[in-house]
Amino acid sequence: MGHYIEVEDGVKVYAEDVGSGQPVVFIHGWPLNSKSFESQISILAQQNFRFIGIDLRGYGKSDKPWSGYDYDTAASDVKAVVDHLKLENFVLAGFSMGGPIAIRFLTKFGQQDVDKLLLMGAAAPVFTQRDDFKINLKPKEVDDIIKQIKEDRPAFLAQFADMFFEQKKSPQFLQWFQQLGLEAGAHSTINSAIALRDEDLRGELAGITVPTAIFHGKKDGICAYELGEELEKQIPNSVLVPFKDSGHGINADEPERFNNELLSFLRSSGVK
């Protein structure tokens, strides 16, 4: 079933809610929505887990206000969904931009209700390079992306799909992927890209104590594999799970392995 949940500033955020059992809360990447995890829904529901897929504000079926695309607001929106659905002992699973939002959720609201953290191709701890951080895209490359979105968003999204996957995909799949991005607000897509470019979570990792799995594609061209290595170094109780044949979209590049690793992590005691 789907829920529309009113968050702090009157914005309505959509959450897909399927199955019963321990909740797994998925936070999607830029510029997609919760449908990007549709191939996980049946697997989880069949194995007695409850799939919760949030469409962040600006994306999918959620409202698309002018502002609120920083990680802090996104984390607060996730908290509003968690509170509304009265979720306890849940797994927080963030993909790409959803990764830093999941991390910010933990540092902002605490870990008491969170059983485990799953980071998938996460855009963390920093998405763009700094004077003292030389991993991943340069800020100017994000500025170029914003320029392309302003000029021809459908063309950019078609090209983005090529960067996203390592394995060959059908034209129909790529069209579907492009459509997910087109469901977002153009202004939302741009404002989130600014957050990706500017936000920095390096000071927030050492305090995360929940068992954490880091799924990352070795051939990721959007969030470099080195980001996953950096996260493993800095998050105390974490393990890095490399996907050697995957680009950024690991759940579509290695779907069977992804689902097996996902279930294995969900069922684990979480002790390293």
Burial of 188-217, coded b for 16+ CB within 10 Å and e otherwise, reads: bbbbbbebbbebebeebbeebebbbbbbbb
96, 188, 238, 246: the catalytic one is 96
Residue 220 appears among annotated catalytic residues: yes
63, 220, 238, 253: the catalytic one is 220
Q: Using alpha carbons, list the distances in angstroms from residue 96 to 132, 137, 220, 259.
A: 22, 14, 11, 17
Residue 39 appears among annotated catalytic residues: no
The Cα 241–Cα 94 span in angstroms is: 15
Residue 187 appears among annotated catalytic residues: no
The Cα 162–Cα 166 span in angstroms is: 8
Sign of torsion over alpha carbons 103, 105, 108, 113: negative
34, 55, 62, 248: the catalytic one is 248
Residues with active-site annotation: 96, 220, 248
